[in-house]
Amino acid sequence: MSETQGASAALPQHVAIIMDGNGRWAVGQGLPRMEGHRAGLKNVSKAVRALVELGVPYVTLFSFSTENWKRPEDEIAGLLRLLAEALDDTAKELHRQDIVIRHLGRLDRLPISLRLGIGRIVEQTKGNKGAVASFAFDYGGRTEIIEATRKAVESGIRPGKIDETIFEGFLNTTGLPDVDLLVRTGGEKRLSNFLLWQSAYAELYFTDTLWPDFGRAEIEKALADYARRQRRFGGL
Ligand code: FPP
C-alpha cells in the first residue's frame, strides 16, 4: 500500500487533483462562468505536461462529479461541449506525448457521441508507454465502491475470498497505484467523494489558488511540500 510505498519516495507516484475554482476565476475576470471552465480545460493539458515532466507517472483529474448533474442545465451543456472539445484536442495532444488516457466513472449518462469518443481515445492510447492520465467524468467515490461490490457479487466470488487486492480489481482504478498526493485548488478543504478508497493514505494539499491559475510553479510547490512531509514507515 502507498503507506509504505510513499515512505521513502520524495516524488509522489500518483497525484490526484480536485480542480476547483473555475467559476470564481471567471467572475474575478468579469467573464461568464463558462469561460472559467474553458480556462480550466486549457490548464488541464499544461498541468498534466508539467507533472509528467517532473516525473509523476500517474495523474488523475476530477473533471465532473456525480453531483455536478445538479448544476444549471446550460452549465452542464457547456461542460459536455468542453468534454467534446477535449476529446478532439487535449486528448490527442496527450496521445502525441505517449500518454495513456483512462476514464473513471459512469458512461451511461453521457450522450452516445461522448461515450464513443471516450471509448475511442482510451482504446487508442492504451498501448502508449508514457504516463497515465485518468479523467474522472461523472465520477463519485461511493458509487464506484457500490459498483465494485455489485461486480464482485455478480462474479460469484466467495465472500471469504474477498480481500483488498481482489476488491481493487473491481474498481475503476484497477492497475493504478494508490493516490500519494491529493491536491484541491480553490480554497475548499473537502474530499467531495473523490477517490475515497484510493486516497486512504494520501497526503492532502489544499491551496487557495484557483484551478486556471494552478500553473507549473504551483505544482512544484505542492510537490516540494509533499517531499518535506515525514512519511513514517508503517505509520498513520
Ligand atoms: C469546479 O469549478 C470545476 C468543475 C466543476 C469542472 C472542472 C472542469 C474543467 C477543469 C474543464 C473541463 C475539463 C474536462 C476534462 C472536460 P467550479 O465551477 O466549482 O468553480 P467555483 O467553485 O469557483 O464556482
Q: What is the pLDDT of residues 167-176, one digit of tens each?
A: 999 999 999 9
> What is the tens place of the pLDDT at every residue in 199-226?
999 999 999 999 999 999 999 999 999 9
The domains of the chain are located at 10-139+179-229
DSSP-derived letter for residue 161 is: G
CB atoms within 10 A of CB 24: 16
Ligand 1, atom 6, residue with closest C-alpha = 63
Ligand 1 atom nearest to CA at 212 = 10
Find the 183 Cα to ligand 1 centroid distance in Å. Answer: 14
CATH fold for the domain made of 10-139+179-229: Undecaprenyl pyrophosphate synthetase (3.40.1180)
> How far is C-alpha 161 from the chain's CA centre?
30
What is the grid cell recorded at 69?
A: 448533474
User: How far is residue 113's CA from residue 116's CA, in Å, rounded to a whole number?
Assistant: 5
For 111, residues 6+ apart whose C-beta sits below 8 A from its C-beta are 80
Mean confidence (pLDDT) of the chain: 94
Cβ of residue 118 lying under 6 Å from some atom of ligand 1: no
pTM: 0.94
Q: If we measure between CA atoms, which residue out of 184, 150, 165 comes closest to residue 60?
A: 184
Q: Is 225 a catalytic site residue? A: no
User: How far is residue 215's CA from residue 32's CA, in Å, rounded to a whole number?
Assistant: 22
Ligand 1, atom 10, residue with closest C-alpha = 40
> What is the tens place of the pLDDT at every residue in 101-148?
999 999 999 999 999 999 999 999 999 999 999 999 999 999 999 999
Ligand 1, atom 15, residue with closest C-alpha = 63
Find the 14 Cα to ligand 1 centroid distance in Å. Answer: 21
Cβ of residue 81 lying under 6 Å from some atom of ligand 1: no
Arithmetic mean of pLDDT, 8-37: 94
Please give the backbone phi and psi of residue 48, each rounded to the nearest 5 degrees, phi first: -65, -45
